[in-house]
Amino acid sequence: MRIKIKKKYEISENLTTPQTIYKHRRQILKTMGILGLGGALDLFNPLNAKDINKQVHTQTIDIKNTPYPYTTNPNYSQTPITPYAKASTYNNFYEFGLQKDDPYHRAKVLQTSPWSVVIDGEVHQEITISLEDILKKFPLQERIYHLRCVEAWSMNIPWIGFELGSLLALSRPKGNAKFVLFQTAVQEQMPAVKNPALGGYIKFPYQEGLRLDEAMCPLTLLAVGMYGKELPPQNGAPLRLVVPWKYGFKSIKSIVRITLVETMPTSTWMRLDPSEYGFYANVNPQVAHPRWSQAKERFMGEGFGFSYIPTQMFNGYSEVVGRLYAKMDLKKNF
Ligand code: MTE
Protein backbone atom coordinates (compact mmCIF):
# COMPACT_ATOMS: atom_id res chain seq x y z
CA MET A 1 0.00 0.00 0.00
CA ARG A 2 1.29 3.45 -0.89
CA ILE A 3 0.84 5.93 1.93
CA LYS A 4 1.21 9.62 1.46
CA ILE A 5 2.12 11.34 4.69
CA LYS A 6 1.67 15.10 4.80
CA LYS A 7 4.81 16.83 5.93
CA LYS A 8 3.24 18.22 9.06
CA TYR A 9 6.56 18.52 10.75
CA GLU A 10 8.21 20.88 8.35
CA ILE A 11 9.09 23.46 10.93
CA SER A 12 8.60 27.07 9.97
CA GLU A 13 11.62 29.37 9.89
CA ASN A 14 10.72 31.19 13.08
CA LEU A 15 10.57 27.95 15.04
CA THR A 16 13.97 26.64 14.00
CA THR A 17 17.19 27.45 15.84
CA PRO A 18 17.56 31.19 16.39
CA GLN A 19 20.32 32.75 14.31
CA THR A 20 22.18 34.02 17.34
CA ILE A 21 22.54 30.46 18.64
CA TYR A 22 23.58 29.22 15.22
CA LYS A 23 26.18 31.99 14.90
CA HIS A 24 27.40 31.25 18.41
CA ARG A 25 27.87 27.60 17.47
CA ARG A 26 29.79 28.54 14.32
CA GLN A 27 31.99 30.77 16.45
CA ILE A 28 32.71 27.94 18.87
CA LEU A 29 33.52 25.56 16.04
CA LYS A 30 35.82 28.15 14.53
CA THR A 31 37.59 28.64 17.84
CA MET A 32 38.00 24.89 18.17
CA GLY A 33 39.52 24.82 14.70
CA ILE A 34 36.82 22.43 13.49
CA LEU A 35 35.15 24.62 10.90
CA GLY A 36 36.52 23.87 7.48
CA LEU A 37 37.62 20.33 8.29
CA GLY A 38 35.07 18.43 6.24
CA GLY A 39 35.45 15.11 8.07
CA ALA A 40 35.28 16.47 11.59
CA LEU A 41 32.33 18.70 10.80
CA ASP A 42 30.43 15.66 9.57
CA LEU A 43 29.67 14.82 13.19
CA PHE A 44 27.75 18.05 13.60
CA ASN A 45 26.20 18.17 10.18
CA PRO A 46 25.21 14.70 9.02
CA LEU A 47 22.49 14.32 6.41
CA ASN A 48 20.04 16.98 5.46
CA ALA A 49 16.53 16.28 4.26
CA LYS A 50 16.97 17.46 0.70
CA ASP A 51 19.89 15.13 0.19
CA ILE A 52 17.96 12.22 1.63
CA ASN A 53 14.96 12.80 -0.59
CA LYS A 54 17.19 12.65 -3.63
CA GLN A 55 18.55 9.30 -2.54
CA VAL A 56 15.73 7.20 -3.95
CA HIS A 57 18.28 4.89 -5.57
CA THR A 58 19.56 1.86 -3.71
CA GLN A 59 22.31 2.29 -1.14
CA THR A 60 23.83 -0.17 1.24
CA ILE A 61 24.09 -0.35 4.99
CA ASP A 62 26.92 -2.25 6.67
CA ILE A 63 25.59 -4.44 9.43
CA LYS A 64 28.38 -6.30 11.18
CA ASN A 65 30.48 -5.73 8.03
CA THR A 66 27.93 -7.23 5.65
CA PRO A 67 26.43 -4.79 3.18
CA TYR A 68 22.62 -4.89 2.84
CA PRO A 69 20.85 -2.76 0.23
CA TYR A 70 18.18 -0.26 1.17
CA THR A 71 16.09 2.29 -0.69
CA THR A 72 14.77 5.60 0.57
CA ASN A 73 11.00 5.82 0.78
CA PRO A 74 10.24 9.44 -0.22
CA ASN A 75 6.70 9.22 1.22
CA TYR A 76 8.04 9.48 4.74
CA SER A 77 9.90 12.70 4.98
CA GLN A 78 10.47 15.26 7.75
CA THR A 79 12.62 18.36 7.95
CA PRO A 80 14.90 19.42 9.47
CA ILE A 81 16.66 16.21 10.42
CA THR A 82 18.09 15.99 13.92
CA PRO A 83 21.89 15.68 13.76
CA TYR A 84 23.23 12.17 14.30
CA ALA A 85 25.42 13.55 17.07
CA LYS A 86 22.28 14.36 19.08
CA ALA A 87 20.17 11.30 18.21
CA SER A 88 23.01 9.02 19.31
CA THR A 89 24.00 10.80 22.55
CA TYR A 90 20.67 11.94 24.04
CA ASN A 91 18.95 8.64 24.72
CA ASN A 92 16.68 6.70 27.03
CA PHE A 93 17.90 3.14 27.55
CA TYR A 94 17.49 2.49 31.26
CA GLU A 95 19.37 -0.81 31.18
CA PHE A 96 22.43 1.48 30.91
CA GLY A 97 21.46 4.17 33.41
CA LEU A 98 19.07 7.03 34.03
CA GLN A 99 21.00 9.95 32.54
CA LYS A 100 20.52 10.86 28.90
CA ASP A 101 24.20 10.32 28.04
CA ASP A 102 24.59 7.05 30.01
CA PRO A 103 23.61 4.85 27.04
CA TYR A 104 26.15 6.61 24.80
CA HIS A 105 28.93 6.04 27.32
CA ARG A 106 27.93 2.60 28.57
CA ALA A 107 26.07 0.68 25.89
CA LYS A 108 29.22 -0.46 24.09
CA VAL A 109 29.08 -3.59 26.30
CA LEU A 110 25.81 -4.70 24.66
CA GLN A 111 26.46 -8.05 22.90
CA THR A 112 24.69 -7.75 19.54
CA SER A 113 26.13 -10.75 17.73
CA PRO A 114 24.97 -13.49 17.42
CA TRP A 115 21.38 -12.22 17.70
CA SER A 116 18.08 -13.95 17.14
CA VAL A 117 14.45 -13.20 17.80
CA VAL A 118 11.82 -15.68 18.99
CA ILE A 119 8.21 -15.29 17.83
CA ASP A 120 5.86 -17.41 19.90
CA GLY A 121 2.53 -17.49 21.74
CA GLU A 122 -0.74 -17.59 19.82
CA VAL A 123 0.82 -18.48 16.46
CA HIS A 124 0.54 -21.42 14.10
CA GLN A 125 4.30 -21.37 13.53
CA GLU A 126 6.75 -20.61 16.34
CA ILE A 127 9.90 -19.08 14.91
CA THR A 128 13.46 -18.41 16.02
CA ILE A 129 15.10 -16.28 13.38
CA SER A 130 18.64 -14.89 13.28
CA LEU A 131 19.34 -11.28 12.46
CA GLU A 132 21.20 -12.39 9.31
CA ASP A 133 18.13 -14.29 8.07
CA ILE A 134 15.88 -11.35 8.86
CA LEU A 135 18.15 -9.08 6.81
CA LYS A 136 18.17 -11.50 3.87
CA LYS A 137 14.37 -11.92 3.93
CA PHE A 138 13.04 -8.40 4.32
CA PRO A 139 13.98 -5.58 1.93
CA LEU A 140 15.17 -2.55 3.88
CA GLN A 141 13.95 0.98 3.39
CA GLU A 142 14.77 4.32 4.87
CA ARG A 143 11.98 6.44 6.37
CA ILE A 144 12.31 9.70 8.22
CA TYR A 145 9.96 9.66 11.21
CA HIS A 146 9.18 12.23 13.86
CA LEU A 147 9.96 10.81 17.33
CA ARG A 148 8.04 12.36 20.23
CA CYS A 149 9.05 11.37 23.76
CA VAL A 150 6.49 11.51 26.57
CA GLU A 151 8.98 13.85 28.29
CA ALA A 152 8.08 16.43 25.58
CA TRP A 153 11.27 16.44 23.52
CA SER A 154 11.31 15.37 19.89
CA MET A 155 13.61 14.56 16.97
CA ASN A 156 13.39 13.73 13.26
CA ILE A 157 15.31 10.52 12.61
CA PRO A 158 16.03 8.67 9.35
CA TRP A 159 15.51 5.00 10.27
CA ILE A 160 16.39 2.00 8.12
CA GLY A 161 14.18 -1.02 8.61
CA PHE A 162 11.17 -2.99 7.43
CA GLU A 163 7.53 -3.33 8.42
CA LEU A 164 6.96 -5.40 11.57
CA GLY A 165 3.83 -6.87 9.93
CA SER A 166 5.90 -8.76 7.36
CA LEU A 167 7.86 -10.53 10.13
CA LEU A 168 4.73 -11.32 12.16
CA ALA A 169 3.05 -12.78 9.08
CA LEU A 170 5.72 -15.51 8.98
CA SER A 171 4.41 -16.85 12.29
CA ARG A 172 0.79 -16.91 11.09
CA PRO A 173 -0.98 -15.44 14.17
CA LYS A 174 -3.99 -17.44 15.38
CA GLY A 175 -7.48 -15.95 15.40
CA ASN A 176 -7.37 -15.42 19.17
CA ALA A 177 -4.14 -13.37 19.03
CA LYS A 178 -5.19 -9.81 19.87
CA PHE A 179 -2.01 -8.20 21.26
CA VAL A 180 1.74 -8.38 20.77
CA LEU A 181 4.24 -8.38 23.64
CA PHE A 182 7.87 -7.37 22.99
CA GLN A 183 10.88 -8.00 25.24
CA THR A 184 14.39 -6.58 25.30
CA ALA A 185 17.46 -8.71 25.91
CA VAL A 186 18.72 -8.92 29.48
CA GLN A 187 22.50 -9.25 29.58
CA GLU A 188 24.40 -9.55 32.84
CA GLN A 189 26.95 -6.91 31.82
CA MET A 190 24.23 -4.25 31.47
CA PRO A 191 25.00 -1.78 34.28
CA ALA A 192 21.43 -1.60 35.60
CA VAL A 193 21.07 -5.38 35.50
CA LYS A 194 24.25 -5.72 37.58
CA ASN A 195 23.26 -2.87 39.86
CA PRO A 196 19.48 -2.20 39.85
CA ALA A 197 19.95 1.18 41.57
CA LEU A 198 21.54 2.50 38.36
CA GLY A 199 18.29 1.85 36.50
CA GLY A 200 15.97 3.21 39.18
CA TYR A 201 15.05 -0.39 40.14
CA ILE A 202 13.14 -0.89 36.90
CA LYS A 203 12.32 -4.57 36.51
CA PHE A 204 13.92 -6.05 33.39
CA PRO A 205 13.31 -7.31 30.76
CA TYR A 206 11.94 -4.01 29.50
CA GLN A 207 8.70 -4.92 27.82
CA GLU A 208 6.14 -3.23 25.62
CA GLY A 209 2.95 -4.11 23.86
CA LEU A 210 0.79 -3.20 20.89
CA ARG A 211 -2.65 -4.22 19.75
CA LEU A 212 -2.30 -6.64 16.83
CA ASP A 213 -3.80 -4.15 14.36
CA GLU A 214 -1.30 -1.50 15.54
CA ALA A 215 1.53 -3.99 15.09
CA MET A 216 0.33 -4.78 11.55
CA CYS A 217 0.00 -1.09 10.62
CA PRO A 218 2.37 -0.26 7.75
CA LEU A 219 3.85 2.62 9.76
CA THR A 220 5.20 0.24 12.43
CA LEU A 221 8.86 -0.44 11.69
CA LEU A 222 11.52 -2.75 12.96
CA ALA A 223 14.69 -0.70 12.54
CA VAL A 224 18.19 -2.08 12.06
CA GLY A 225 19.86 1.20 11.15
CA MET A 226 19.70 4.98 11.24
CA TYR A 227 21.40 7.78 9.27
CA GLY A 228 22.69 5.24 6.71
CA LYS A 229 24.55 3.22 9.38
CA GLU A 230 23.79 0.20 11.51
CA LEU A 231 22.02 1.09 14.77
CA PRO A 232 24.47 2.09 17.47
CA PRO A 233 23.98 0.13 20.72
CA GLN A 234 22.57 3.14 22.57
CA ASN A 235 19.73 3.39 20.02
CA GLY A 236 18.72 -0.25 20.42
CA ALA A 237 21.02 -2.35 18.24
CA PRO A 238 20.62 -4.62 16.49
CA LEU A 239 16.82 -4.51 16.15
CA ARG A 240 14.30 -2.08 17.67
CA LEU A 241 10.72 -1.06 17.22
CA VAL A 242 9.69 2.36 15.88
CA VAL A 243 6.00 3.28 16.35
CA PRO A 244 5.93 6.90 15.19
CA TRP A 245 2.43 7.91 16.36
CA LYS A 246 3.08 6.82 19.95
CA TYR A 247 5.29 8.24 22.67
CA GLY A 248 8.89 7.07 22.39
CA PHE A 249 8.72 4.62 25.28
CA LYS A 250 6.64 2.26 23.10
CA SER A 251 9.61 1.94 20.71
CA ILE A 252 11.34 -0.86 22.56
CA LYS A 253 15.02 -1.50 21.88
CA SER A 254 17.24 -4.58 21.34
CA ILE A 255 14.30 -6.98 20.91
CA VAL A 256 14.77 -10.73 21.50
CA ARG A 257 11.20 -11.98 21.95
CA ILE A 258 7.85 -11.18 20.33
CA THR A 259 4.86 -13.03 21.79
CA LEU A 260 1.34 -12.99 20.40
CA VAL A 261 -1.16 -12.94 23.24
CA GLU A 262 -4.90 -12.87 23.83
CA THR A 263 -5.07 -10.19 26.51
CA MET A 264 -3.55 -6.73 26.87
CA PRO A 265 0.00 -7.09 28.18
CA THR A 266 1.45 -4.87 30.91
CA SER A 267 4.29 -2.71 29.67
CA THR A 268 7.27 -1.62 31.77
CA TRP A 269 5.90 1.91 32.19
CA MET A 270 2.36 0.81 33.03
CA ARG A 271 3.85 -1.37 35.74
CA LEU A 272 5.93 1.53 37.07
CA ASP A 273 3.03 3.96 37.24
CA PRO A 274 -0.31 3.14 35.58
CA SER A 275 -1.70 6.57 36.47
CA GLU A 276 0.99 8.29 34.36
CA TYR A 277 1.66 5.83 31.53
CA GLY A 278 -1.11 4.03 29.70
CA PHE A 279 -1.01 1.10 27.31
CA TYR A 280 -1.90 3.16 24.24
CA ALA A 281 0.48 6.10 24.72
CA ASN A 282 -0.73 7.74 21.52
CA VAL A 283 0.76 11.20 21.06
CA ASN A 284 -2.07 13.54 21.96
CA PRO A 285 -1.65 17.28 22.63
CA GLN A 286 -5.09 17.38 24.30
CA VAL A 287 -4.37 14.81 26.97
CA ALA A 288 -1.86 16.16 29.45
CA HIS A 289 0.52 13.98 31.40
CA PRO A 290 -0.51 14.27 35.07
CA ARG A 291 2.61 16.39 35.70
CA TRP A 292 3.00 18.42 32.49
CA SER A 293 1.20 19.55 29.37
CA GLN A 294 1.68 17.64 26.12
CA ALA A 295 0.57 20.55 23.91
CA LYS A 296 4.10 21.56 22.89
CA GLU A 297 7.43 19.89 22.52
CA ARG A 298 11.12 20.79 22.45
CA PHE A 299 12.37 19.89 19.00
CA MET A 300 16.07 19.00 18.80
CA GLY A 301 17.47 20.25 15.52
CA GLU A 302 20.80 21.75 14.53
CA GLY A 303 22.65 23.92 17.01
CA PHE A 304 22.42 24.26 20.75
CA GLY A 305 19.20 24.06 22.65
CA PHE A 306 15.69 23.30 21.45
CA SER A 307 12.93 25.01 19.51
CA TYR A 308 9.37 24.83 20.82
CA ILE A 309 6.82 23.49 18.34
CA PRO A 310 3.18 22.47 18.76
CA THR A 311 2.56 18.76 19.24
CA GLN A 312 0.39 17.12 16.57
CA MET A 313 -2.38 14.61 17.17
CA PHE A 314 -0.94 11.13 16.64
CA ASN A 315 2.39 12.88 16.10
CA GLY A 316 1.19 14.02 12.66
CA TYR A 317 0.20 10.52 11.44
CA SER A 318 -3.61 10.84 11.94
CA GLU A 319 -4.41 10.15 8.30
CA VAL A 320 -2.97 6.67 8.61
CA VAL A 321 -3.80 5.69 12.18
CA GLY A 322 -6.78 7.84 13.21
CA ARG A 323 -9.25 5.14 12.14
CA LEU A 324 -7.64 2.61 14.52
CA TYR A 325 -9.09 4.62 17.41
CA ALA A 326 -12.33 5.87 15.81
CA LYS A 327 -14.62 4.69 18.60
CA MET A 328 -12.28 5.05 21.55
CA ASP A 329 -12.27 7.56 24.37
CA LEU A 330 -8.66 8.69 24.10
CA LYS A 331 -8.73 10.41 27.50
CA LYS A 332 -9.60 7.14 29.18
CA ASN A 333 -7.37 5.05 26.93
CA PHE A 334 -4.29 7.26 27.21
N1 MTE B 1 13.83 0.23 25.26
C2 MTE B 1 14.48 -0.35 26.29
N3 MTE B 1 14.79 -1.65 26.21
N4 MTE B 1 14.84 0.33 27.40
C5 MTE B 1 14.51 1.66 27.54
O6 MTE B 1 14.84 2.25 28.58
N7 MTE B 1 13.43 3.62 26.56
C8 MTE B 1 12.30 4.04 25.72
C9 MTE B 1 12.44 3.53 24.28
N10 MTE B 1 12.87 2.14 24.26
C11 MTE B 1 13.81 2.30 26.48
C12 MTE B 1 13.51 1.55 25.33
C13 MTE B 1 12.12 5.48 25.72
S14 MTE B 1 11.54 6.15 27.19
C15 MTE B 1 12.34 6.25 24.62
S16 MTE B 1 11.91 7.89 24.60
C17 MTE B 1 12.99 5.70 23.42
O18 MTE B 1 13.39 4.33 23.59
C19 MTE B 1 14.20 6.52 23.09
O20 MTE B 1 14.82 6.09 21.91
P21 MTE B 1 16.19 6.77 21.48
O22 MTE B 1 17.11 6.70 22.64
O23 MTE B 1 16.67 6.01 20.29
O24 MTE B 1 15.84 8.20 21.14
- Residue among 243, 249, 298 whose CB has most ligand 1 atoms within 8 A, to mutate: 249
Residue 332 lies in a domain: no
Beta strand ranges found along 123-254 (DSSP E): 127-130, 140-148, 153-163, 179-184, 207-211, 221-226, 229-230, 240-242
CB atoms near residue 196 (< 10 Å) = 13
Can you give the length of the chain in residues?
334
Indicate the pLDDT class of residue 67, thresholds 50, 70 and 90.
very high
Residue 32 lies in a domain: yes
State the Cα–Cα distance between residues 201 and 135, nearest whole angstrom.
35
State the Cα–Cα distance between residues 235 and 275, nearest whole angstrom.
27
Residue 263 has pLDDT above 50, yes or no: yes
Structural domains counted in the chain: 1
What percent of the chain is modeled with pLDDT above 90? 81
Which atom of ligand 1 is found nearest the CA of 254? 3
Residue 2 lies in a domain: no
CB atoms near residue 174 (< 10 Å) = 12
Which atom of ligand 1 is found nearest the CA of 235? 23
Residue 17 lies in a domain: no
What is the Å distance from ligand 1's center to 182 Cα?
A: 13
Residue 3 lies in a domain: no
- Average of per-residue pLDDT across 70-83: 96
Residue 12 lies in a domain: no
Chain centroid offset of residue 153 CA: 13
* DSSP bridge pairs for 259: 120, 181
Mapped onto helix, strand or coil, the DSSP state of residue 62 is: strand
State the Cα–Cα distance between residues 145 and 131, nearest whole angstrom.
23
- Average of per-residue pLDDT across 91-97: 98
Residue 115's CATH number = 3.90.420.10
Residue 14 has pLDDT above 60, yes or no: no
Which atom of ligand 1 is found nearest the CA of 241? 10
What percent of the chain is modeled with pLDDT above 70? 83
Identify the residue with better confidence: 20 or 324.
Answer: 324
Residue 327 has pLDDT above 70, yes or no: yes
Run of H or E residues at 268? helix 268-272
Tell me the pLDDT of the chain averaged across its residues: 87
Shortest-distance Cα residue to atom 6 of ligand 1: 93
Residue 6 lies in a domain: no
Least confident among 9-18, 114-123, 153-162, 167-176: 9-18
How high is the pLDDT of residue 121?
98
Which atom of ligand 1 is found nearest the CA of 269? 14
- Average of per-residue pLDDT across 179-198: 98
Q: What is the largest CA-CA distance in the chain?
A: 63
Which atom of ligand 1 is found nearest the CA of 206? 3
Residues with CB under 6 A from ligand 1: 91-95, 149, 184, 206, 235-236, 248-249, 251-254
- Average of per-residue pLDDT across 272-285: 97
DSSP structure string for 131-169: HHHHHHHS-EEEEEEEEE-TTSEEEEEEEEEEEHHHHHH
How high is the pLDDT of residue 29?
30
- Average of per-residue pLDDT across 209-229: 98
Identify the residue with better confidence: 210 or 5.
Answer: 210
Shortest-distance Cα residue to atom 12 of ligand 1: 252
What is the Å distance from ligand 1's center to 41 Cα?
A: 27
What is the Å distance from ligand 1's center to 65 Cα?
A: 25
Residue 187 has pLDDT above 70, yes or no: yes
Residue 204's closest CA among 95, 279, 97?
Answer: 95
Q: 141: domain range?
A: 26-325
Please, what is the Cα angle at 253 between 166 and 159, to 5 degrees?
Answer: 60
Residue 8 lies in a domain: no
DSSP state of 49: H
Mapped onto helix, strand or coil, the DSSP state of residue 60 is: strand
What is the Å distance from ligand 1's center to 257 Cα?
A: 16
